Amino acid sequence: MTKTWFITGTSSGLGRLLAERLLQRGDRVVATLRRDGPLVDLQKQFGDRLHVLKLDVTDFRAVRANIAAAFEAMGRIDVLVNNAGYGLFGAAEELTDDQIDRQIATNLTGSIQLIRACLPHFRQQGGGRVLQLSSTGGQVAYPNFSVYHATKWGIEGFVEAVAQETAGFGIDFILAEPGPTATNFGTNLDRASAMPEYDATPSGEMRRAFANGGSFAKRDDAGDIVAQMIAAADSEHPPLRLVLGDLSYQHIEHTLAARLDSVRAQRAPAASQNDA
């Protein structure tokens, strides 16, 4: 059955590829981007099955207006794909206030407001699905990505709570957690100015690894990642968290196992407090 998708951040990367694949199979797509031009070729190829909107997800009034207009124009939207976002790279002390504010507004608050804007429409039409782009960094943390992690860990907590709130309305959620993927993520990193005090720390090591191309050198194929995302969104009972790629699986499994070991080591002290 033909579906209608609302996808943010479609000028390149996973968002662009996702729009292409869905249009090729006959679906309808509302695609948002911040500048004119990147989707002209798809508009010529697919005509009125592709609706392009210019949208900055940090403009929350525009988010609500565009979501309402999209539901009215399309009649129904089956899947919201919260894909717009980018990475902020640098030790926490190196980051500027403006960088932090922009990262949170784009990756976290923008995604929250898009979901909130869709909820009343999903309820009225009897259901819907949200495919929220998180990352391995939604469950794992690396030096120099502190605020990026704050946004991804934050949106995972938000989605997990809202999924419980709205399950009775036929609304469900998928948190997509890709690892390093062959996209332009690294090219688009917003980088802080390095402080020499951090040169001999894990932050400095990470910075040098990125500069030498050695960090996260193994990258998953973007086409495979998109195919798995579409399959999950099509499935009747998708997982809340969709781990994408071998490296993502390895890092998340290792991190969660270590965290669980740490929690279990505290079982006896925690129980003894109740006995006191």
- Just list the catalytic residues: 134, 148, 152
How far is the C-alpha of 167 from the C-alpha of 163, rounded, in Å? Answer: 6
Selection from 130, 180, 146 nearest residue 14 by Cα: 180
Selection from 260, 5, 3, 257 nearest residue 130 by Cα: 5
Burial of 64 (C-beta count, 10 Å sphere; 0-12/13-18/19+): middle
How far is the C-alpha of 276 from the C-alpha of 253, rounded, in Å? Answer: 35
Cβ 225 vs Cβ 181: under 8 Å: yes
| Residues with Cβ within 8 Å of residue 24, at least 6 apart in sequence | none
